[in-house]
């Protein structure tokens, strides 16, 4: 028996019609003669959904007792015993009650699939594990029930059940999704139009990405390397030259012409490290790719044209953008066919765009530098070796001279030439070759002790020495050049890796870049100066204190820099520093020896990163400055919602009661008049309490709360608080320790804190577990602990519950406007104490009020 198929109906939010669609499909399959059962369906009291169950076989659920509450879950054993062809399982991300076979419902589904049962199921986009944080940012709601991406990606078929955001809000307003009591809260929170639009886009993009992944897998399985124009993919080839920005912008325009076009930037790195790009330009182009919404890629390969085409084919690219060669016509004639011609020939059905730019034809053909890559030290050692090795070898061979030893003597001197080439390159090798030829002719070739080249063979031998020396020295020079390039690349990579590591470890990016720049180039000092002359950061290799200046540094490292106008003895730094502009924001001043051109390449990369770091810092500062405005806007929006709904409700009730009392056309009995008066009084009292809370929370936020601190016995506050709540005896368990000292508090504010916290505990606690109020002393503090056994609050929400206008869950409209906890914390902190939240052992929430004990002499 094979594994069953999994079909998933994916929705952007609750209420789009996933369950309805699943049941509709089940009814259609039953009509076709398929064996279909409903394993579990959550109708949420929606009449249309419940009606779709008619005509479908429903497997009875399993009942589980949890803490005295009966819960129903999918009966996995029952469905396996029934073993239908198709099982309908709603809410794939659901968490099962304790006592079931598996913790999650998707694990139950996996068992059904293993048994060969095909499963139709539903899931919302907010339950996908990889999107959990994104959904939280969009909606502000943390989803505790998630499903691993791998489970969903393994589905045989995924289908989005789509509904426009406004249509979903209309369904919600008509009561087709939630009960009437939850509609207002849902519309003003999770189901805001912006939230639904973002969630819908997220669902469609996630499915589009899955379709693209499936397409790539299909092409790989069937060996298809020709392009399939499902959507435009534009690959831009970057060399690290100045033309990169032009190419990227052209590629972005090409991709933008088709909806869903994708931009990919590619840089091919040479394996030998000899074709190095300009690091600063490449880093700037990589940043531009991010701004244009593309992705940056880097591959290694010596054959640049084939590497470009191979990457484009692997990416299913439809367009390839390359730049006109920067070589002149003479250079192209001397060096042969360029990259562009090869790419066009190899690209096949991929369209190639060759874009002209200002740098085209500006790279002339230049001869290699005459100076090799060997150091002067090796050159001198090579000459010394050739100068002394020749005479020593002559003395040694003279001792064993014979007419038959000429071949050995020639090979011995040839060995000296090769060794000299290995040590010092071509010039010591040529010197050794000439010296060897002269010595052989003078000492070992007849007529002896004369320098006469009488035979052409002797001249050929001398020329052979020179050729051998030139070839060997050329190979040595190439090896040294490659070694130096590799060491340079390794050093640059190490510097950049050190900079990146400093930032990753949490160091300030700007400070890390300036410090590492000074260390990398061995400078005496470096400092970053803003465009207005302010010193942002400075560092030096000495521990001298900074000289006072008109513009003190905003930030400074432990090692400071002296004023450049006052160099000290032994300091290599001159009066005029090297200045590197960092965008338009600042200038990097470097004190010390001048940098070589190779050093300036990596300096350009550091300067580019500095510019990005300063831009990020400016954006962070701007965002930080906007936080109070955003908070004010949030509070204002919530206040308007409260005024529009919560304040209007008691006002409307009081107005209606008074209007009825004043109406001459209505005859009222005495009991009716008393009831209307009571209604008006209750409405006005509630309205007054709401207005008082609003005024209090505004005072707390403005820091102008009037607090009258005095010694207060907690025992005197508790009875008044319980009386104000109007709770029955035993509704709250009191646990007050003996000899609790008086606290420093405002008695009126302390009573309101206790009332607010106890009201919350009574609202959320379990029916059979009354809240407990414990009072005890710890050192110089007194703690009031209000303990409930309710559902509790997730850790990530424990700070948010103290924000104004926050209500946990979709509560009814009679439980206030979410100011109780915000006011309580403000009151407690105004009295010099703290209000914190803890988890109740066994489940629930514990509010801990900590107040300082009153001093013995009273409060002044």
Per-residue confidence at 416, pLDDT binned at 50, 70, 90? confident
The CATH architecture annotation of domain 233-355 reads 3-Layer(aba) Sandwich (3.40)
**Residue 549 reports pLDDT greater than 60:** no
Cα–Cα distance for residue pair 122/133, rounded to 1 Å: 21
Highest mean pLDDT among 376-380, 534-538, 609-613: 534-538
Q: Extract the tokens encoding 855.
A: 């001093």
Res 38: pLDDT: 93
Res 23: pLDDT: 92
Res 59: pLDDT: 92
**Residue 582 reports pLDDT greater than 90:** no
Res 331: pLDDT: 44
Higher pLDDT, 92 or 203: 92
Please give the helix or strand (H or E) that residue 619 lies within, else none.
helix 597-644
Higher pLDDT, 243 or 227: 243
Higher pLDDT, 639 or 357: 357
**Residue 286 reports pLDDT greater than 70:** yes
Pairing mode, strands 69-73 and 62-66: antiparallel
**Residue 847 reports pLDDT greater than 70:** yes
Question: Which of these ranges, 405-419, 478-492, 645-659, 812-826, has the smallest mean pLDDT?
Answer: 812-826
For residue 704, CA distances in Å to 691, 750, 801, 859 come to 17, 17, 22, 20
Per-residue confidence at 560, pLDDT binned at 50, 70, 90? very low
CA angle 663, 669, 671 (to 5 degrees): 115
Share of the chain above pLDDT 70, in %: 70
Higher pLDDT, 502 or 86: 86
Res 226: pLDDT: 52
Per-residue confidence at 300, pLDDT binned at 50, 70, 90? low
Res 564: pLDDT: 36
Per-residue confidence at 633, pLDDT binned at 50, 70, 90? low
Higher pLDDT, 378 or 714: 714
Per-residue confidence at 467, pLDDT binned at 50, 70, 90? confident
**Residue 208 reports pLDDT greater than 70:** no
Res 231: pLDDT: 63
Res 116: pLDDT: 92
| Average pLDDT for the chain | 75
**pLDDT tens track for 134-187:** 788 787 777 778 888 888 888 888 888 888 888 888 888 787 887 765 665 567
Mean predicted confidence (pLDDT) in 672-685:
78
Res 37: pLDDT: 93
Res 79: pLDDT: 92
Query: Do the Cβ atoms of 516 and 606 come closer than 8 Å?
Result: yes
**Residue 371 reports pLDDT greater than 80:** no
Mean predicted confidence (pLDDT) in 412-421:
81
**Residue 112 reports pLDDT greater than 90:** yes
**pLDDT tens track for 355-370:** 876 655 554 433 334 3
Res 211: pLDDT: 60
**Residue 586 reports pLDDT greater than 50:** yes
Closest CA to 397 of 443, 429, 428: 443
Find out if CATH 3.30.565.10 is the number for domain 710-852: yes
**Residue 568 reports pLDDT greater than 60:** no
Higher pLDDT, 237 or 817: 237
Please confirm whether the linkage preceding 205 is cis (ω < 30° from 0): no
Question: Which of these ranges, 63-72, 208-217, 486-495, 593-602, has the smallest mean pLDDT?
Answer: 208-217
For residue 713, CA distances in Å to 745, 774, 826 come to 9, 14, 21
Higher pLDDT, 10 or 379: 10
Closest CA to 41 of 18, 64, 71, 10: 18
Higher pLDDT, 711 or 672: 711
Per-residue confidence at 547, pLDDT binned at 50, 70, 90? very low
Closest CA to 823 of 712, 701, 719, 710: 701
Cα–Cα distance for residue pair 230/389, rounded to 1 Å: 72
Highest mean pLDDT among 268-277, 320-329, 344-353, 676-685: 344-353
Res 122: pLDDT: 94
**Residue 232 reports pLDDT greater than 70:** yes
Q: Extract the tokens encoding 23.
A: 């049941």
**Sequence-distant contacts of 366-372: CB under 8 A, at least 24 apart:** 372/425, 372/426, 372/477, 372/480, 372/481
Q: What residue spans define the domains of the chain?
A: 6-221, 233-355, 376-416+426-479, 507-620, 648-702, 710-852
Res 6: pLDDT: 92
Closest CA to 125 of 113, 114, 138: 138
- DSSP 3-state assignment of 742? coil
The CATH architecture annotation of domain 6-221 reads 3-Layer(aba) Sandwich (3.40)
- Same topology, domains 6-221 and 233-355? Answer is yes
- DSSP 3-state assignment of 352? strand
Higher pLDDT, 835 or 133: 835
Question: Which of these ranges, 50-59, 798-807, 851-860, has the smallest mean pLDDT?
Answer: 798-807
**Residue 626 reports pLDDT greater than 90:** no
Res 559: pLDDT: 34
Could you tell me which CATH class the domain 507-620 is placed in? alpha beta
**pLDDT tens track for 505-539:** 445 778 878 877 776 677 778 888 988 888 888 88
Res 624: pLDDT: 80
In sequence order, the 6+-apart residues with CB closer than 8 A to the CB of 91 are 40, 42, 105, 121, 122, 123
Res 370: pLDDT: 37
């Amino acid at each position: 028996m094979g594994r069953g198929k999994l079909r998933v109906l994916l929705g952007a939010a609750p209420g789009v019609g996933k369950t309805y669609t699943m049941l509709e499909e089940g009814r259609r399959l039953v009509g076709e003669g398929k064996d279909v059962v409903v394993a579990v369906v959550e109708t949420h009291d929606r009449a249309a959904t419940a009606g779709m169950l008619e005509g479908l076989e429903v497997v009875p659920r399993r009942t589980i007792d949890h803490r005295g509450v009966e819960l129903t879950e999918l009966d996995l054993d029952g469905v396996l015993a029934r073993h239908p062809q198709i099982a309908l399982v709603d809410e794939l991300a659901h968490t099962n009650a304790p006592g079931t076979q598996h913790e999650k419902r998707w694990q139950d589904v996996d068992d059904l699939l293993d048994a060969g049962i095909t499963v139709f199921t539903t899931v919302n986009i907010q339950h996908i594990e990889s999107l959990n944080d994104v959904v939280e940012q969009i909606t502000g709601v943390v989803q505790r029930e998630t499903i691993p991406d791998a489970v969903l990606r393994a589905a045989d078929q995924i289908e989005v059940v789509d509904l426009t955001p406004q249509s979903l809000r209309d369904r919600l307003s008509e009561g087709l999704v939630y009960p009437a009591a939850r509609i207002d809260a849902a519309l003003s929170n999770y189901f805001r139009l912006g939230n639904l639009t973002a969630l819908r886009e997220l669902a469609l993009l996630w499915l589009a990405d899955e379709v693209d992944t499936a397409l790539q897998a299909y092409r790989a399985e069937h060996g298809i390397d020709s392009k399939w124009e499902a959507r435009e993919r534009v690959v831009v080839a970057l060399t690290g030259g100045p033309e990169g920005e032009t190419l990227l912008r052209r590629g972005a325009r090409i991709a933008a012409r088709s909806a869903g076009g994708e931009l990919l930037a590619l840089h091919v790195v040479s394996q030998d490290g000899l074709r190095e790009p300009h690091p600063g330009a490449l880093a700037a182009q990589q940043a531009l790719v991010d701004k244009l919404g593309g992705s940056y890629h880097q591959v290694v390969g010596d054959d640049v044209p084939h590497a470009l085409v191979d990457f484009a084919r692997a990416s299913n690219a439809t367009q390839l953008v390359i730049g006109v060669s920067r070589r002149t016509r003479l250079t192209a004639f001397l060096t042969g066919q360029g990259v562009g011609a090869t790419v066009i020939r190899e690209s096949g059905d991929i369209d190639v765009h060759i874009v002209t730019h200002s740098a085209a034809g500006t790279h002339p053909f230049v001869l290699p530098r005459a100076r090799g890559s060997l150091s002067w030290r090796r050159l001198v050692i090579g000459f010394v070796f050739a100068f002394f090795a020749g005479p020593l070898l002559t003395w040694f061979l003279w001792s064993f001279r014979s007419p038959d030893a000429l071949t050995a003597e020639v090979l011995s001197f040839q060995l000296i030439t090769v060794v000299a080439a290995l040590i010092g390159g071509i010039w010591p090798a040529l010197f050794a070759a000439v010296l060897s030829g002269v010595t052989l002719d003078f000492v070992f070739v007849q007529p002896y002790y004369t320098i006469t080249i009488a035979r052409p063979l002797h001249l050929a031998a001398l020329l052979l020495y020179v050729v051998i020396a030139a070839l060997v020295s050329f190979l040595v020079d190439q090896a040294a050049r490659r070694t130096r390039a590799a060491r340079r690349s390794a050093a640059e990579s190490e510097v950049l890796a050190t900079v990146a590591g400093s930032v990753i470890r949490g160091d300030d990016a700007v400070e890390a870049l300036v410090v590492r720049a000074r260390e990398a180039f061995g400078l005496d000092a470096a400092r970053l100066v803003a465009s207005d002359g302010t010193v942002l950061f400075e560092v030096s290799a000495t521990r001298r204190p900074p000289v006072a200046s008109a513009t003190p540094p905003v930030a400074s490292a432990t090692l400071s820099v002296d004023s450049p106008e006052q160099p000290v003895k032994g300091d290599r730094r001159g009066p005029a520093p090297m200045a590197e502009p960092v965008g338009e924001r600042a200038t990097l001043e470097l004190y010390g020896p001048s940098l070589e051109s190779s050093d300036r390449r990596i300096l350009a990369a550091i300067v580019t990163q500095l510019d990005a770091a300063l831009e990020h810092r400016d954006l962070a500062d701007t965002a930080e400055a906007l936080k109070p405005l955003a908070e004010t806007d949030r509070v204002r929006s919530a206040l308007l919602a409260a005024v529009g709904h919560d304040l209007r409700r008691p006002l409307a009730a009081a107005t209606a009661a008074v209007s009825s009392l004043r109406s001459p056309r209505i005859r009222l009995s005495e009991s009716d008049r008393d009831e209307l008066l009571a209604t008006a009084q209750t409405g006005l009292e509630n309205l007054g309490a709401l207005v008082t809370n609003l005024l209090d929370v505004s005072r707390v936020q403005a820091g102008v709360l009037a607090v009258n601190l005095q010694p207060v016995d907690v025992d005197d506050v508790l009875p008044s608080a319980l009386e104000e709540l109007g709770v029955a005896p035993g509704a709250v368990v009191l646990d007050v320790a003996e000899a609790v000292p008086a606290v420093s508090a405002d008695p009126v504010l302390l009573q309101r804190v206790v009332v607010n916290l106890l009201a919350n505990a009574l609202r959320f606690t379990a029916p059979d577990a009354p809240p407990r109020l414990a009072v005890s002393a710890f050192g110089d503090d007194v703690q009031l602990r209000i303990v409930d056994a309710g559902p509790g609050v997730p850790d990530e929400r424990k700070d948010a519950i103290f924000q104004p206008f926050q209500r946990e869950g979709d509560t009814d409209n009679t439980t206030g406007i979410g100011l109780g906890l915000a006011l309580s914390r403000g009151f407690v902190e105004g009295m010099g104490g703290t209000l914190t939240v803890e988890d109740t052992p066994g489940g629930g929430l514990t509010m801990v009020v900590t107040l300082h004990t009153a001093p013995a002499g009273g409060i002044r």
